Structure 1
Amino acid sequence: MAGVTNRAFRSICRSFAPGLVYVNEMVMATAVLHRNPKTETMMAFGDDEQPRSLQVYGSDPADLARAVSQLCDEGRVDHIDLNFGCPAAKVTRRGGGAAVPARPALLRAIVRGAVSAAAPYGVPVTAKFRMGIDDDWRTDVRTGLICADEGAHWVALHARTVAQHYAGDARWTAIAELRAALDDAGHDIPVLGNGDIWEATDAVAMMDATGCDGVVIGRGCLGRPWLFLDLATVLSGGDPPPSRTLGEVAATMSAHARALVEHFDGAAVRSTGEDLAMRDFRKHSGWYLSGYPVGPEMRRRFSMVKTLSEFEDLLGQLDPQARLVDGGERIRRGHTNGPIRPALPEGFRDAPDADSDMSIPDDDRAMAVSGG
């Protein structure tokens, strides 16, 4: 997730459940090729981080293949995930992101190029996508088949359309349909499900209901990095643990904030790493405190914090014994907007699924702002 799953946040997640795949922020292939300084900071991994998983966005097959080759040749990644799920208007308006699967020839060229570029290095390439543009323009099954045909290691489906954005419920039946279609085509490629996993038991329910092979956690881990430990516990046959006390949450918030300061040190130009970290952490504070009995004035103060010492002082004022209110775990965090009217290039709807369309969106003018 852009702006969230940086090195600092991943280190906190790994402290709860090491050994899982924690995907880095989404970066643009062109920015990788140009060695953009901001992108270089985004691509930072911890010294002990394994596997080093990076999500790449791009709409030019040649550029994306070159970016993948560069990353692999320099030994910077162990896994590449291709993002075809970003619903941001500034991306889809030019035919990129979640609009790419509506152009199957372009999609095939992108996946084929990335897989071929990574193959000499033994780096697996995977893909994440949505159900389609809207309910009348579904592309998920075809996208999964194309990815499987071209050698993707696994596919992950966010069970919402672009039009849904982040509203309503994820439609897990689409995940089951994708799994069945791949089975019918003779593909044993793993299918991962994504959408509305707020608690560990949701992951079990999704896998039971759809037959998917695993899950991708998105917004559910915002302010809840221990969700991965809960998930590992439940999938191993254990009981779901009780909610964390606010004291435990505060300890995690402190560790996360300090990791962010370290992450941003050296990347700051007009401000210090602490300045950047504290500004960035304001959104995290809202997510961590979501569902806990914390008053509006205290929440306001967390949203305006400027220094690490001020932040630590606020943490010390929280009730360490407090627990989540009833239903607090299921309060939605992160993006909640939608439904939307998908922004698409002029004439895009006039030729839906044009198999011969290899027109390439202008990536240099579209910065992705969401992982989809």
Structure 2
Amino acid sequence: MTGLRLGTLDVPTPVVLAPMAGITNAAYRRLCAEHGAGLYVCEMITSRGLVEGDETTKRMLVFDEAETVRSVQLYGTDPTYVGQATRILCEEYGVAHVDLNFGCPVPKVTRKGGGGALPWKRNLLGAILEEAVAAAAPYDVPVTMKTRKGLDDDHLTFLDAGRIAQETGVAAIALHGRTVAQAYSGQADWDAIGELVASVDIPVLGNGDIWEAADALRMIEETGAAGVVVGRGCLGRPWLFRDLAAAFSDDGPGETTLPTLGEVAAMMRRHAELLCEHMGEERGCKEFRKHVTWYLKGFRAGGELRRSLGLVDSLAALDRLLAELDPAEPFPASELGAPRGRQGAPRSRIVLPEGWLDDTDGLSGGGVGVLEDVDETTGG
């Protein structure tokens, strides 16, 4: 299968790692890239934080020496800030791709009119996209956007968002086939992805419920999407990108080889090692702890060993604990195709700025706030 073309950027394998806060840092992006080709996006940063020189924001903008293509996702609700942040990324950080987040369903984001709430304001969405595209144009950097179906089934926005993206010069649009109200519950609506594909001429990337490489192939076949965005499916499974690269190769998917527990343990060690290289051993080990449950999901590792791994404070301690795992234990077949990461329940109420649904303009300045930090680990 052919790769993915995003403006001036060629992605040989039509697979994008969804930005996930606290997950897709430089170490994890490097780990995934070591397994397969694709576009690996830095965790989401706030436009205002970048423009105002916030130290936390700048610490997130770290790239591994092996990253030849730097990709960053921006969050923002103000066209001027988003435009300025886009220029900074292109000019000062050598970024080759900028993605804009209009899909995050977290209440503290939507209550400010950001993330998945923002596309309801069509004119505001257009203004933000215009500023970002104009700022990136002198550097030949493509701008893409990610969104959801809408706020809920009664307030759908994805077709308008696709039209606006195309009109403003956005290189591609990614659609998560869920509404903000659904968050990560239920099943992704791939039919909506196909509907968007049919309505625009720019590439559409499909997102939602890609747990195995076979799911990605099926999504492409059913929707006509130009590529896929993978979020929760790769948590504790960086080798998914190996399977995806094989699936999209000219030779076809072939037979998937599942890793043994020993091979998973080796990936855990490599992940921790990369984190420590980038953050120092103490912080790197603390960052690694959150991944333990995902890596060992479905394996027979005992509770005491899991607890100890979840408190690991050095690479030496990690080595001792990993040595206690049975290297020959096969990958648990029960986990194939099973959801990973948070799921939760649909939301009975979406938190929005007061009067948000009264009009679809959004340029009057009412209700749109500024968010400085986002704790979102599931990829929008």
Tell me the TM-score normalised to structure 1 length: 0.92
Alpha-carbon displacement from aligned partner over 1:318-337 (angstroms, at most 9, x marks no partner): 11111222221333222212
Distance 2:102 2:188 in 1: 17
What is the match of residue 268 of structure 1? none
**Alpha-carbon contact 1:163-1:338 (below 8 Å) kept:** no
Distance 1:105 1:174 in 2: 22
Find out whether 1:296 has 2:303 as its counterpart. Answer: yes
Superposed displacement of residue 294, structure 1:
1.9
- SS of 1:319's equivalent? coil
Query: Counterpart amino acid of 1:344?
Result: L
What is the match of residue 239 of structure 2? 226
Query: Counterpart amino acid of 2:248?
Result: L
Distance 2:296 2:102 in 1: 31
Find out whether 1:2 has 2:15 as its counterpart. Answer: no
Distance 1:102 1:51 in 2: 32
What is the match of residue 352 of structure 2? 344
Superposed displacement of residue 70, structure 1:
1.4
Q: 325, 328, 353: which is aligned to 1:321?
A: 328
Distance 1:364 1:289 in 2: 34
Superposed displacement of residue 347, structure 1:
1.9
Distance 2:24 2:119 in 1: 25
Superposed displacement of residue 128, structure 1:
0.5
What is the match of residue 3 of structure 2? none
- Seen in structure 2, the aligned counterparts of structure 1 residues 75 and 276 have a Cα distance that, compared at 3 Å, is closer
Instruction: Report runs of 4+ in structure 1 exceeding 6 Å deviation.
Output: none
What is the match of residue 277 of structure 1? 284
**Alpha-carbon contact 1:90-1:368 (below 8 Å) kept:** no
Distance 1:128 1:240 in 2: 32
- SS of 2:73's equivalent? strand
List aligned pairs for 1:167-246, cutoff 5 A. Answer: 167-182=185-200, 187=201, 189-236=202-249, 237-246=252-261
Alpha-carbon displacement from aligned partner over 1:113-165 (angstroms, at most 9, x marks no partner): 00000000000000000110001110011101101110111110010000000
What is the match of residue 267 of structure 1? none
When structure 1 is superposed on structure 2, of 113-122 and 325-334 the one drifting more is 325-334
Distance 2:234 2:359 in 1: 35
Superposed displacement of residue 9, structure 1:
0.2
Q: 81, 85, 108: which is aligned to 2:103?
A: 85
- SS of 1:132's equivalent? coil
Find out whether 1:263 has 2:278 as its counterpart. Answer: yes
- SS of 2:34's equivalent? helix
Q: How many residues align?
A: 357
What is the match of residue 83 of structure 2? 65
Q: Which runs of 5+ in 1 are unaligned?
A: 265-272
What is the match of residue 12 of structure 2? none
Superposed displacement of residue 285, structure 1:
0.9
- Seen in structure 2, the aligned counterparts of structure 1 residues 360 and 75 have a Cα distance that, compared at 3 Å, is farther
Distance 2:194 2:265 in 1: 39
Distance 1:361 1:96 in 2: 8
What is the match of residue 312 of structure 2? 305
When structure 1 is superposed on structure 2, of 189-198 and 290-299 the one drifting more is 290-299
Q: Which runs of 5+ in 2 are unaligned?
A: 1-19
List aligned pairs for 1:128-147, cutoff 5 A. Answer: 128-147=146-165
What is the match of residue 167 of structure 2? 149
Distance 1:43 1:355 in 2: 30
**Alpha-carbon contact 2:144-2:171 (below 8 Å) kept:** yes
Query: Counterpart amino acid of 2:323?
Result: G
What is the match of residue 270 of structure 1? none
Superposed displacement of residue 364, structure 1:
4.3
Distance 2:139 2:176 in 1: 28
- Seen in structure 2, the aligned counterparts of structure 1 residues 50 and 359 have a Cα distance that, compared at 3 Å, is farther
Superposed displacement of residue 367, structure 1:
3.3
Query: Counterpart amino acid of 2:273?
Result: R
Please report the RMSD computed on the Cα atoms of aligned residues, expressed in angstroms: 1.6
- Seen in structure 2, the aligned counterparts of structure 1 residues 240 and 135 have a Cα distance that, compared at 3 Å, is farther
Superposed displacement of residue 75, structure 1:
4.3
Find out whether 1:254 has 2:269 as its counterpart. Answer: yes
